Amino acid sequence: MINKRFHYKTADEIKSHARELGLDLPWSENIDSLFSGWSFGNLSVANRFLIHPMEGFDAKPDGSPGDLSFRRYQRFSSGGSGLIWAEATSVTEEGRSNPAQLFLHQKNIDSFKHLVERIHAKGKPVGSDTSEVRTIIQLTHSGRYAKPEGSPAPRIVTQGDGLPEASSSAILLNDDDLKRIRDAHIDAASLARRAGFDGVDIKACHGYLLHELLFARERANSIYGGPELQKRLRLMKEIIEGVRQTEPQLVISARINVYDGLDQGFGVSDDGSATIDLSEVETLMNTMDSEGVSLWSVSAGIPYINPWIGRPFDKTSTNSVESPEHQLTGVARMIHLCSESSKFTSNPVVGAGLSWLRHFFPNVAAGIIEKNMAMAVGVGRLGIAYPDLVSDLYREKEANIKKVCIACSGCTNRMRNGLSSGCIVRDRDFYA
């Protein structure tokens, strides 16, 4: 059955339909487990909720957080989640995916410090643990999706990786270029520590530069690519090693694609069928654990190509294609990928891709936690639409159906059209 709009009015309806589709949908009527504490690295977290990184594209021209940036993060931090995972922040000017993407550098560190201070000032995590709100910032280079001045200016690592062919203006990065980007990540991590973040996330998902290197099997004459997996892991490994040595007090996380859904992608079999094969994922996680990663976030798919894999939706985004599968199939796959990836590491793994479930999200999330399929659950779109979700759940034991994300892709459409991202349904005064 293909993509259909969300229509479930009762828990029995959605659970019954999942069974009809042959899907295992974890479920719990008791959501108390979501308010228990947990830890990673040297940090304790008050509850099992976190705000996942999703770009707002509301930075100032120099990359500093803008007024809407401060508004979003203050809403997130006052909403009850135990961990705020700040959005993709570029480590170089040319690596920005949008002229309004955050960009952390020496000249604007004070603005990021102010952002962290405001998050802590507004932070009200709920649960059995009394920890303050924790903060991670995601560091990235957009690679082939770079648009620092608003028009495509792609930086690529190979032409033969299964992604759409880059434009003729694309710059093929050599090893010296990648070493410079490595050093920029390490420098940005030091700035993040000075700004007050608890940790940094090394982004390797959704087709951006570090992720593309993971399946750059055709990259020739390079220490950072080719058929050998360890070469494809090398840049990510060197970044993590450099951060650990330079800023040992920072916790290091990694948000990775464990399944691309492309026949030449990462996390797929090599027989051309694009079926799930996590053998290289296991090696990646083992390798990065030994380098100092203490928290993992699992994602899948590439939003510009097959967005339904990682973000099941009711309405497709601008210039995208309709989903070939029912949304519950995508939800169940994401849960499965998270559960399987958890077996490859002794560190906590965070689940994602559940926003489409709307007001049933807490029941599925609690089921995931109770079955040890993930340590915590993150929300992106749902957090933007409903930043006080966690506080409401703690107080009322259920989500407000009038506040949940409806998976209309309105926030993504704004990004694709060069506008700041926000909920056009629940936050109309600012974004409609």
Instruction: For 161-174, write each residue's pLDDT tens digit.
Output: 777 767 778 999 99
Q: Helices 327-342 and 11-20 meet at what angle, rounded to 10?
A: 80
User: In whole angstroms, what is the distance from residue 120 CA to residue 267 CA?
Assistant: 37
Instruction: For 208-256, write each residue's pLDDT tens digit.
Output: 999 999 999 999 999 999 999 999 999 999 999 999 999 999 999 999 9
Cα-Cα-Cα-Cα torsion 174, 176, 177, 178, nearest 10 degrees, comes to: 90
- pLDDT surpasses 70 at 3: no
User: In whole angstroms, what is the distance from residue 3 CA to residue 340 CA?
Assistant: 25
The DSSP result for 261-328, as a single string, is -STTSTTB-TTSS--B--HHHHHHHHHHHHHTEEEEEEEES-TTT-TTTTS--SSPPTT----SS-HH
User: In whole angstroms, what is the distance from residue 84 CA to residue 136 CA?
Assistant: 6
User: In whole angstroms, what is the distance from residue 144 CA to residue 157 CA?
Assistant: 8
Instruction: For 67-102, write each residue's pLDDT tens digit.
Output: 999 999 999 999 999 999 999 999 999 999 999 999
Q: What percentage of the chain carries pLDDT values higher than 70?
A: 99
User: In whole angstroms, what is the distance from residue 352 CA to residue 299 CA?
Assistant: 7
Architecture of domain 11-431: Alpha-Beta Barrel (3.20)
User: In whole angstroms, what is the distance from residue 356 CA to residue 279 CA?
Assistant: 29
Q: Where are the strands (E) in 43-164, listed by range?
A: 43-45, 49-51, 83-90, 134-140, 155-156
Provide mean pLDDT across the span 104-119.
98
Q: For the chain, what percentages of helix, strand and coil (3-state, to nearest 5) are there?
A: 35, 15, 50
- pLDDT surpasses 70 at 156: yes
User: In whole angstroms, what is the distance from residue 328 CA to residue 395 CA?
Assistant: 28
Higher-pLDDT residue of 316 and 51 is 51
| In the chain, where the domains are located | 11-431
Bridge partners (DSSP) listed for residue 268: 276
